[in-house]
A and B are shown apart, each in its own frame.
Chain A
Amino acid sequence: MTAEEIYNNLKAKFGDAIVEAKLDALQPWIVVDPNRTKEIALFLRDEPALQFDSMMCLSGVDYNGGKLGIVYHLFSMVHKHKIVLKAHCTKENPHIQSVSSVWGTANWHEREVFDMYGVVIDEHPDLRRILLPYDWEGHPLRKDYKVPEFYNGMKVPY
C-alpha cells in the first residue's frame, strides 16, 4: 500500500486526529494527535489491509523553539510497506500517549525518550529513567540542556 492510501485510510477513520502529512518525502510521514497515538497505533497494527506488525524504531526529537516529539518508524512484515508516524508536544506540556501496549518494543524506547527529552509518556506501564541514574536532574538531549557542574560531589566538566 502506498503512503497516500495509508494516509487516506487513517484520515477516513480518525479525521481530526491526523494533523499533518508529507507524502512525497523520501520516508513519507504523518503527524498525529499526541493524545490519540495508542488507538491510531492499534488500528495500524490490526487493520487487515495495513498490518504494521513491526515498530522498527522510536526516536525522540527536540525541534528547538519549545517543540518536542516522537517519531515512529513502522513496517509491515506481511505487506512489506512502511510509514513514519510523528507526534508533537510542547516543553510546557510534554505529554504523549504510550504505544507500548501495541508494540512491546516501544516500552524501553519510550523510557529512553522520557530519560533524554523529558517527554512524559502517558499510560506507560513503568515510566522510569532507563540509562541515567534515578537521581539525575534534567534531560540531556534537550537543546537547552546545561551540563551540571557537579554530580554527587564529582566534578563533571573537563
Chain B
Amino acid sequence: MGLLDQRFENGNVFITSLENLLNWARLSSLYQMQFGLACCAIEMMAASASDFDIMRFGIIPRATPRQADVMFVAGTVTLKMASRIKRLYDQMAEPRYVISMGSCANCGGPYWEHGYHVLKGVDRVIPVDVFVPGCPPRPEALLEGIIKLQEKVRKESVVKKSA
C-alpha cells in the first residue's frame, strides 16, 4: 500500500528496512479472534460482510485464539464472561492487540450504575489498544479503529526503546 508505492525504480529491486517490512506484513494480516458478545457483534458482522468488507484490511476471522492477532471485544462484558475473555487473551500468541468496541466494553455503557453483573470496562482485565466509541458503533467506526491500530503497528519497533 502506501509503504510500497513508488519504490520500484529498477525493475525488481525493492529497498526497505526490515522493521518496515515486518510491520507492513503484520499490519496487513491482522487475524481476528472470532467471537462476539452482544449487539456490537452484529455491527462487527456487518463490517465483515460485503458492504464494508473488513477483509480488505487483511482481517480474517480465526476460530481459535492461537491463530489470532487481534481481539475485538464486541459487546457487554459480564463478570462471568470476563474470566473467559482473560483466558482467551492469554492463549493468543504475541504480539497481540485488543480493540474494545462499543460503550459497554469501554466503560460499562448503560450498565454503569445498576449493572451488578457487568464489568465496567474490559481494560480492567486485559490491556486495550484502541477504544471504539458508540452504542453500537457503526461499521465505519470499527474500520477507523482498525486503521488506528494499523497506525500503531506501523510505528512499532523490533529494537527496544531507550528512555
Contacts and interface: CB of A to CB of B under 8 A. Distances in A.
Given A133-B80, A140-B116, A158 B124 contact: no
Nearest to B121: A158
Interface string B29-67: 000000000000000000000000000000000000000
Contacts of A145: 116
Contacts of A80: none
A26 interface: no
Contacts of B82: 154
Interface string B115-136: 0110110001100000000000
A144 to B, nearest CB: 13
Given A132-B80, A133-B79, A133-B80, A154 B116 contact: no
Contacts of B107: 158
Interface in A131-158: 131-133, 140, 145, 147-148, 151-152, 154-158
A158 B116 contact: no
A145 to B, nearest CB: 7
Contacts of A158: 107-108, 112-113, 120
Contacts of A152: 79, 83
A58 B135 CA distance: 31
A157 B120 contact: yes
Interface in A84-135: 131-133
Interface string B85-113: 00000000000000000000001100011
A132 B116 CA distance: 11
A154 B79 contact: yes
A140 B108 contact: no
A155 to B, nearest CB: 6
A140 B120 contact: no
A147 B83 contact: no
Nearest to A148: B116
Contacts of B124: 154-155
A156 B77 CA distance: 12
A131 B112 CA distance: 19
Nearest to B116: A147
A151 B79 contact: yes
Interface in B65-80: 79-80
A147 to B, nearest CB: 5
Interface of A: 131-133, 140, 145, 147-148, 151-152, 154-158
Q: Which 10 A-B pairs have the closest CB atoms?
A: A147-B116, A133-B80, A158-B112, A158-B120, A151-B79, A140-B116, A154-B82, A158-B108, A154-B124, A154-B119
16 contacts: A133-B79, A133-B80, A140-B116, A140-B117, A147-B116, A148-B116, A152-B79, A152-B83, A154-B79, A154-B82, A154-B124, A154-B125, A155-B124, A157-B120, A158-B108, A158-B113
